[in-house]
Every structure is written in structure tokens, then in C-alpha cells.
């Protein structure tokens, strides 16, 4: 028994030593902890919907925080608001009140993918209505997603929309909650869900709210001010996003611009500017889309194996095009818009390029000669009849010649008579 115990004690000692070594090296640390350490504090990538004019198409932009770097994604043909990001589906849902052609009778749900492509999903109706034509969320300004529930605020009510594609009530309002007090609720133009407590965090821009941070309980509809957290007063805050220990909010019209502020949730400091843009009539945001930067890392690990072994180099090459295709799919919508404009010019440019052909003079010369030959025959017929009447005019000229000769004869005769008469007179005078 003593030898057995000794062997077990030695085995446990070795196991403890191995466990300590693995813990020190980090092999026993959960993967989530690694991701948490790798993420920058307060870092977040969000999708913003900007409406600079009433009725104008919504511009979608990707904003990286806290750096404030913005990138234009696309221009949607819809008036979009009340967006929410579904991490499980990897897409953004939004409420569209209309298109460039005009407003909808009932608000539609739209889905926005990573490339910025917007898909119209139809009217957001009530549960149990298979073909709704009217929507209770028309004119909604605030939205956020928690799991398969999309919270949308319209007026003083909070609506819950089912976004589980497998449910019969997909994109239908399954619950309505009245918000109280109304004086705080109506000033919240966007909010974000905190998974830790399940509350919605937003900024109330009413006189009672004074740009204070408020929480909304989706279950009871209670709206409460968070002590010590306040943004600068400057109108509606249409975009609100929660990050790690930080609250980001964008004022639609702060002076002559829109401003995104960063506010620590622990109240350790005031709100500071991190990004600016043009003044907005309305705006919204969805995020944090922290999964966006993850796709780039996969290509680097595939390249080393390509260099090490030639055979596996071909499969990674086949895997690399797929990630490039979504980026290319984003380009076609942008290029398709300008394509119609260049189409008319090409036919016009072709005739303009043709003039250099006439430079060889010899070729057009023979071509020109046959053309005058054809018109030449018609002139002779009219000239010949005109020439004929001119010939009978010749006897008139001959008549005039004869008359002149006769006149000359009469003139000579008269001259002779005069001379003869003069001579006779002279002769008479001599004989006198």
C-alpha cells in the first residue's frame, strides 16, 4: 500500500506541474479571453445611415471608432431609419418609410448585407397578418436588435419585431409596450442593447431629458435617467452605439455639422468629439460590427503554406477569390450607375473619328466626278431649246445689215447729188 500511494502521489505531482505549465503558457485560457484582450478598449465599427435632406436617398457609411475614419459603402434608394445589427445573421435590419418615388403606406423592412446591398423584405405588419398593407412602425426613429428580437420605437410605444426567418411571424410585430414617462421617451431617437442587463441605452433630447443618457426596460417600458452621464445639448442624437465601457452618440445637427461623441460609461470623463460630418435631417447607426475586421487575417496564414509546398498553393488560390468577390460585387453597383451616361457618347465619337478618312484626296476625287456627271445631263436639255430661239434671231441681224447697206447707198447718192449740184453752180458762175 505504501508503494502504491507513493506512485499516485508522484503522478498527481506531475499532473499539477503540467497544469501549472499550461496555465502559465495560456493554453488553458478560454478563447473568449484571448479575443477580449486582442480588442482595443472602446473599439467599434458601425454602419451609419445619413439623410441630409428630407426624402433624399439614404447614404450608408462605415465608421471606425474611436479613430473616426469613415468609408462610404453605398447609396440606398430608400429612406432608412431605426436600424439594428444581428450578429447571428451578420446583417443589419432597418425600417424604410419610402423610396425616391415617394413614401410607403406602411413601413417596409429592409436587410443590408456587408457589401451594402439593400433588400426590401416587405411591410412590417402585426403578428397573424400574412399580407399586411399597414404598419404600426411607420415613422420609427430608434432601433436595436437583441438575439432574434428587433426593438423599434415609434412615438411613445416600443414594438418588438420577430426577425427569426424560421418563425411564422417573421418580420411581424409580436409585442407592444407603452413607454413611460412620455416626456423622456419621445426624445430618444436611437438606442443600443446592453447584453449584460438587457436594457436599451439612448439619449433623450427633450427639455426634460436635456441630452441625458437614459435606459429603457423593454419588459416594463420604464424610461429612467442615468445619473452623471450627459452629452452636449445640440438637438437630436440619431445614432447611439455601445462599445466596451464606452457610449458613442451622434448629434444630427450640432452647429453647422453632425458630430459623433465618445462618453465613458463610468462617468470618468466628459463627452469628447471623435468624428464630424455634414448636418443631417435624420440619421441612425447599427453596431458594433466587430466581426468586420476578422476576414482579412485568414489570407496571411494561407500564403506561407503556398510558399512552402507548391501543390497546396493551388487550393489557397481558389480560396482567395471568394473573399475578393464580395468586394467586387460592391464595385458593380457603383459602376452600373455611371455606365448609362457613357453609352450615348460612343456612337457620337465614332462619326467624329471618321473625318480623318477623307484625308486621302485621290479616293474622294473619283467619287465626286460621277456625281456631277449625273446632274450634267439634265442641264443640256433646257439649254438646247433656249439655243434654238436664238438662231431665228440671226435673220434680224441680217436685216439690219441690209438696211445699213441701203442707207450707205442713199448716202452716196445724196453726196453725189450735192457734189454735182455744186459743180454745176460753179460752172454757171464761170460762164457769167
Which DSSP string corresponds to 45-111? EEEEEEESSTTSPPEEEEEEETTTEEEEEEE-SEEEEEEEEETTTTEEEEEEEEETTEEEEEEEEEE
Q: What is the per-residue pLDDT across 302-351, written as a single tens digit (0 to 9) for each?
A: 554 444 444 444 443 443 333 333 333 333 333 333 333 333 333 333 33
Q: Which of 92-96, 204-208, 240-244, 323-327 has the lowest mean pLDDT?
A: 323-327
- What distance in Å separates the CA atoms of residue 153 and residue 204, rounded to the nearest whole number? 13
SS3 state of residue 367: helix
Query: ∠ CA(37), CA(39), CA(43), 5° rounding?
Result: 145
Cell numbers 448585407 correspond to 113
Q: Which of 165-179, 212-226, 294-308 has the lowest mean pLDDT?
A: 294-308
Stretch 128-154: mean pLDDT? 94
- pLDDT tier, 12 (very low <50, low <70, confident <90, very high otherwise): very low
Whole-number Cα distances in Å, 78 to 48, 51, 103, 334: 14, 10, 9, 16
* Cβ-based neighbours of 28, under 8 Å, separated by 6 or more: 19, 22
pLDDT of residue 419: 72
Stretch 286-312: mean pLDDT? 55
- What distance in Å separates the CA atoms of residue 284 and residue 254, rounded to the nearest whole number? 15
Is residue 77 within 8 A of residue 112, CB to CB? The reply is: no
Q: What share of the chain has pLDDT > 70, as a percent?
A: 58
SS3 state of residue 219: coil
pLDDT of residue 387: 43
pLDDT at 373 over 50: no
pLDDT of residue 301: 60
C-alpha cell at 122: 416587405
pLDDT of residue 113: 94
- pLDDT tier, 417 (very low <50, low <70, confident <90, very high otherwise): confident
C-alpha cell at 277: 460630418
What integer best gives the mean pLDDT of the chain? 74
Stretch 244-270: mean pLDDT? 95
Region of residue 245 (left: phi > 0; alpha: psi -120 to 50; beta: else): left
Is residue 214 within 8 A of residue 203, CB to CB? The reply is: yes
Q: Which has more confidence, 318 or 271?
A: 271
Q: pTM score, two decimals? A: 0.60
pLDDT at 382 over 70: no
pLDDT at 432 over 80: no
Amino acid at each position: 500500500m505504501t508503494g502504491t500511494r507513493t506512485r499516485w502521489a508522484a503522478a498527481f505531482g506531475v499532473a499539477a506541474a503540467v497544469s501549472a505549465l499550461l496555465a502559465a503558457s495560456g493554453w488553458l485560457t478560454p478563447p473568449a479571453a484571448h479575443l477580449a484582450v486582442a480588442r482595443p478598449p472602446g473599439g467599434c465599427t458601425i454602419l451609419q445611415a445619413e439623410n441630409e435632406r428630407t426624402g433624399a436617398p439614404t447614404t450608408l457609411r462605415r465608421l471606425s471608432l474611436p479613430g473616426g475614419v469613415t468609408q462610404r459603402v453605398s447609396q440606398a434608394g430608400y429612406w432608412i431609419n431605426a436600424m439594428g445589427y444581428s450578429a447571428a445573421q451578420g446583417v443589419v435590419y432597418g425600417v424604410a418609410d419610402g423610396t425616391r418615388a415617394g413614401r410607403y403606406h406602411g413601413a417596409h423592412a429592409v436587410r443590408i448585407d456587408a457589401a451594402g446591398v439593400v433588400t426590401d423584405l416587405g411591410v412590417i405588419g402585426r403578428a397573424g397578418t400574412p399580407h399586411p398593407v399597414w404598419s404600426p412602425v411607420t415613422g420609427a426613429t430608434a432601433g436595436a436588435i437583441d438575439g432574434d428580437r428587433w426593438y423599434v420605437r415609434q412615438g411613445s410605444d416600443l414594438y418588438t419585431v420577430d426577425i427569426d426567418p424560421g418563425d411564422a411571424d417573421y418580420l411581424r410585430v409580436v409585442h407592444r409596450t407603452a413607454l413611460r414617462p412620455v416626456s423622456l421617451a419621445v426624445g430618444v431617437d436611437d438606442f443600443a442593447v446592453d447584453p449584460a442587463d438587457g436594457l436599451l441605452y439612448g439619449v433623450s433630447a427633450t427639455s426634460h431629458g436635456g441630452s441625458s443618457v437614459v435606459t429603457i426596460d423593454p419588459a416594463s417600458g420604464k424610461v429612467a435617467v442615468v445619473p452623471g452621464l450627459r452629452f452636449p445639448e445640440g438637438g437630436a442624437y440619431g445614432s447611439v452605439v455601445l462599445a466596451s465601457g464606452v457610449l458613442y452618440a451622434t448629434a444630427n445637427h450640432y452647429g453647422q455639422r453632425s458630430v459623433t461623441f465618445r462618453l465613458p460609461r463610468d462617468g470618468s470623463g466628459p463627452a469628447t468629439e471623435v468624428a464630424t460630418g455634414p448636418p443631417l435631417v435624420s440619421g441612425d447607426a447599427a453596431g458594433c460590427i466587430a466581426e468586420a475586421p476578422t476576414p482579412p487575417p485568414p489570407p496571411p496564414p494561407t500564403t506561407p503554406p503556398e510558399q512552402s509546398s507548391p501543390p497546396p498553393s493551388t487550393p489557397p488560390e481558389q480560396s482567395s477569390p471568394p473573399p475578393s468577390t464580395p468586394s467586387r460585387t460592391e464595385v458593380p453597383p457603383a459602376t452600373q450607375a455611371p455606365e448609362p451616361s457613357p453609352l450615348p457618347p460612343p456612337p457620337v465619337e465614332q462619326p467624329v473619328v471618321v473625318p480623318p478618312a477623307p484625308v486621302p484626296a485621290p479616293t474622294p476625287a473619283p467619287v465626286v466626278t460621277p456625281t456631277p456627271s449625273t446632274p450634267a445631263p439634265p442641264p443640256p436639255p433646257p439649254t438646247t431649246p433656249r439655243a434654238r430661239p436664238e438662231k431665228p434671231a440671226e435673220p434680224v441681224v441680217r436685216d439690219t445689215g441690209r438696211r445699213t447697206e441701203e442707207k450707205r447707198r442713199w448716202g452716196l447718192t445724196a453726196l453725189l447729188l450735192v457734189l454735182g449740184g455744186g459743180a454745176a453752180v460753179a460752172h454757171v458762175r464761170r460762164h457769167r
